Homo-oligomer: A and B are copies of this chain.
């Protein structure tokens, strides 16, 4: 069959393209450091330096991971003299993390195996 098309906000996408964007968005969240960054930024903007201290990471790592979030439009960067202050671009990201946390809690409570199961599944080359 010919590739479906989806109307959306006056733009037309090939089917699956929208999901590709969404996947990129989720991929931007799929890193422990970036999650920690967002959990900090939910409480307010931070300069790279502040993040670096709170996360106890090397500067290039911090800038690199911030770049991933920036490229996905999740955070904004604003120069302040020598510093750059990062902030959530959309407060809904906080809500997203909340929902994720609730799902996560349910999942932990679900099985009596708790995270032992998660750990096991986490090992790729089993």
Contacts and interface: CB of A to CB of B under 8 A. Distances in A.
For the complex, would chain A's binding face be called helix, strand, loop or mixed by DSSP majority?
A: helix
A30 B23 contact: yes
A9 interface: yes
B108 A100 contact: no
Interface string A90-126: 1011011001111111111111001101100110000
Q: In which size bucket is the chain A interface?
A: 35 or more
B23 A118 contact: no
Nearest to A20: B32
Nearest to A120: B71
Contacts of A89: 107, 110
Given A102-B92, A103-B90, A106-B92, A26 B26 contact: yes
